[in-house]
């Protein structure tokens, strides 16, 4: 495998989309695809596809196109989806429940292993067979279990405190749903899902009639 | 107000973040802020901020900085947040429930007015006081009520069918949570929240130790 340092975030953000399209093709029994056909399907230029994949050494063969299963597997490798990772979820509210109940994450190697909340009614219950613990057990849990990703679904002030606490005990990756940008040290990865921001973007675009892909 | 045509999606995607930061400043009683202070707070250059806001006519005053309340209000206007819009939610599963229960959307002028599902146990119940209807009432509902946005939270095959049906009866904006890119005619706005894609991006970055803002 070619070294892949300094790949732009724009390329990285496109990789999951490739992975998703290739997965759909596989499901539909398609075993190879030309770059022009893939380009048409994904509404991006064939040259963009070649450029993106060349960042990782390229995968196409002239006159043959792409082997769907191989390319799917390789993009999965690049995205590290074949490593098993444990995720804990902070907040057993609606978003926390939605994440804990999500059935697709295990397909990309990610398993929710525990949920934390400060609501006494939630503590001790299970969501999708995953136990809900009191937030004051959070640090102890992380110290004693393998935790790769912390999903934060609590309000912004609590989110800031939780992020600081989990980073302090060595967590390297945060999936943040709180409407706040978390200030974390270098070397910690944060991926945000800002629902209200997304809805504001929709609000702008629907009034300015642009089509977003 | 200056006409704002052909603004790049990159700028548009940043506006909600400005709006959020300015809202937080307002909440904390800050009534003006220099571009350098705002720049520091948001970790973007002062020149980027000026450039972004100049797309809409600019709002700063030399030597004074930005009037927080005015700028917040104006960005809200650009994002059309002061128009009331009705949203219906397709799917009363976890994500559908999370959206229907979300308390921040009304602050940006968006109100969930109905939920649709094909699960007999859900139909006729209420989520956050919003009624759940059978999916076969969807078209009729849209024909008889003001529906500005359709949030789709059902699996991908159903999502494709629902999108086609609602576009057919005149819906112009879709907030899509299904892991599929919806193929819609020109003039229809789609904003995607692809949770699994987001988690794959996190997966890549946590293994390549980049920090994303």
Residue-level pLDDT at A75: 93
Chain B positions in Cβ-Cβ contact with residue A5 (cut-off 8 Å) = 208
Tell which wins on pLDDT, A50 or A202.
Answer: A202
User: Number of Cβ pairs closer than 8 Å across A and B?
Assistant: 208
Nearest to B203 among A80, A196, A198 (CB): A80
Q: What is the pLDDT of residues A63-117, one digit of tens each?
A: 778 899 999 999 999 999 988 999 999 999 989 999 999 888 999 999 999 999 9
Residue-level pLDDT at A213: 40
CA distances from B32 to A181, B21, B156 (A): 21, 13, 46
Tell me phi and psi for residue B76, to 5 degrees: -60, -40
Q: Least CA distance to B102: which residue of chain A?
A: A94
Q: What is the pLDDT of residues B137-186, one digit of tens each?
A: 999 999 999 999 999 999 999 999 999 999 999 999 999 999 999 999 99
Q: Least CA distance to B107: which residue of chain A?
A: A196
DSSP label at residue A61 = B
**pLDDT reading at B188 higher than 80:** yes
With a CB cutoff of 8 Å and minimum separation 6, the contacts of B15 are A200, A201, A204, B52, B75, B78, B79
**pLDDT reading at B212 higher than 70:** no
Nearest to B205 among A5, A12, A110 (CB): A12
Q: Do A16 and B101 touch (CB under 8 A)?
A: no
Nearest to B79 among A179, A190, A203 (CB): A203
Q: Least CA distance to A86: which residue of chain B?
A: B203
Instruction: Tell me what the mean pLDDT of segment B95-106 comes to.
Output: 91
Average pLDDT of chain B to the nearest whole number: 91
- Name the pLDDT band for B4 (thresholds 50, 70, 90): low
Q: Do A97 and B102 touch (CB under 8 A)?
A: no
Q: What is the pLDDT of residues B114-136, one digit of tens each?
A: 999 999 999 999 999 999 999 99
**pLDDT reading at A131 higher than 80:** yes
**pLDDT reading at B63 higher than 70:** yes
Tell which wins on pLDDT, B207 or B23.
Answer: B23
Helix or strand or coil: residue B67?
strand
What is the token pair recorded at B35? 């571009």
Residue-level pLDDT at A5: 58
Chain A positions in Cβ-Cβ contact with residue B108 (cut-off 8 Å) = 196, 199-200, 203
* Angstroms from A95 CA to nearest CA on chain B: 5
Q: What is the pLDDT of residues A37-76, one digit of tens each?
A: 999 999 999 889 988 888 877 676 777 788 999 999 999 9
């Amino acid at each position: 495998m070619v070294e892949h340092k300094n790949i732009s975030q724009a390329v990285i953000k496109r990789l999951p989309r490739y992975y998703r399209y290739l997965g759909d093709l596989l499901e539909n029994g398609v075993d190879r695809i030309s770059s022009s056909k893939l380009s048409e399907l994904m509404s991006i230029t064939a040259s963009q596809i070649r450029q993106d994949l060349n960042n990782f050494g390229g995968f196409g063969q002239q006159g043959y196109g792409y082997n769907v299963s191989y390319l799917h597997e390789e993009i999965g490798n690049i995205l590290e989806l074949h490593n098993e990772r444990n995720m804990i979820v902070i907040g057993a509210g609606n978003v926390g429940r939605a994440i804990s109940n999500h059935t697709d994450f295990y397909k990309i190697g990610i398993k929710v292993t525990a949920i934390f909340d400060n609501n006494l009614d939630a503590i001790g219950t299970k969501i999708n067979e995953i136990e809900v613990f009191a937030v004051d057990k959070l640090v102890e849990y992380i110290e004693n279990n393998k935790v790769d990703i912390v999903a934060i679904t609590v309000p912004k002030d609590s989110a800031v405190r939780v992020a600081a606490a989990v980073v302090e005990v060595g967590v390297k990756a945060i999936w943040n749903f709180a409407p706040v940008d978390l200030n974390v040290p270098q070397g910690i990865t944060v991926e945000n899902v800002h629902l209200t921001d997304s809805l504001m973007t929709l609000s702008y675009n629907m009034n300015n009639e642009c089509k977003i892909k």
